[in-house]
Amino acid sequence: MLLFILPRRRTTELTIYSAEMVEEAEKWMRETPLDANNKTAMLEKMEITRHSRRDYLSSKTKKSAGVTLKRYPRLADCLEAVSSF
């Protein structure tokens, strides 16, 4: 019998964000470079846009890495978001 032990994931309450909040967070993340002063705010915006990003990335439409990173540039430099979700 082969077992896989997966790391424990952080549990979060289900929060529903309006389309306007998601759009505003995506725009802010595109226009704001990541730095030490806004890391917490960036992670909060990543949480707000998580479902939107997931839907975008899992859709059947083919996307290049360049197009994806243009829409979600913080995926390239906000590694804390990857490890926290």
Reference 16, options 57, 53, 55, 50; nearest CA is 50
pTM higher than the cut 0.85: no
Q: Where are the domains of the chain?
A: 19-84
Spatial CB neighbours of 25, under 8 Å, sequence gap ≥ 6: 17, 45, 48, 49
In order along its 85 residues, the chain shows pLDDT tens digits of 444 444 455 555 667 889 999 999 999 999 999 888 998 999 899 989 988 988 998 988 888 889 988 988 888 887 766 555 4
